[in-house]
Amino acid sequence: MGSITDRLTAAAAVRAEAIRRALDAPERTPRSAVVLGRIVGIGFAVCFLTGVYSHLQQHPLAWLPLPTRPVELYAWTQGTHVAVGTALLPLVLAKLWVVYPRLFAWPPVRRPIDVLERGSVAVLVAGSLLQIVMGVLNTFQWYPWPFSFVRTHWALSWIIVGAIVVHLGVKLPVIAANWRAHGDDR
């Protein structure tokens, strides 16, 4: 019985390695992933903060006074929210393109932390793409889903922030090693 599982595992490893090699590109480096991740992270932070401001304007808390001047502040924050949120679509896709071959690492889970990494990535990718697509469709005021856009957008933002925090925690060694350009990278 052991020989069948050994052969299946070996065959899967060979196929995963072939896929990974086929997807290899010089641009798919940890440094590229960190640089794009930094930009995407800033974009999500801007969208999250402007979204929280919008939410508090629409659902004020009695104990939290918000600025009412300048009058255009809300329009500026929402314009920023929509512009940065829309710009996140190609940035998230670029980040996915850079890290895509990692999905074919074999075995997919080597250490317990890998389970946390894969789980956070799954939540982060699914939530981010859904959030961005929903936001873009909202700009057209088209809602092809049966649930509330505002409540779902609000809830997803908190889920995404949590997934980002977990992802940063798991990937901190890679981020620290590639945060600054080394040597001839400038």
- Quick: pLDDT tens for 40-80: 999 999 999 999 999 999 999 999 988 878 889 999 999 99
* Interval 30-42 mean pLDDT: 92
Instruction: Look at residue 167 in the predicted model and tell me its pLDDT.
Output: 92
- CA dihedral sign, ordered 35, 38, 40, 42: negative
Q: Answer whether residue 19 shows pLDDT above 80.
A: no
Q: What percent of the chain is modeled with pLDDT above 70?
A: 92
Q: Answer whether residue 184 shows pLDDT above 70.
A: no
Instruction: Look at residue 54 in the predicted model and tell me its pLDDT.
Output: 92
- Please say whether the beta carbons of 87 and 140 come within 8 A: no
- Average pLDDT of the chain is 87
- Residues 79-111 have pLDDT tens digits of 999 999 999 999 999 999 898 877 777 777 888
Q: Answer whether residue 137 shows pLDDT above 60.
A: yes
Instruction: Look at residue 186 in the predicted model and tell me its pLDDT.
Output: 44
Backbone angles phi, psi at 27, to 5 degrees: -80, -15
Instruction: Look at residue 1 in the predicted model and tell me its pLDDT.
Output: 53
Which structural domains are found in the chain, ordered by start? 25-185 (1.20.950)
**Which residue matches tokens 């997934």?**
163
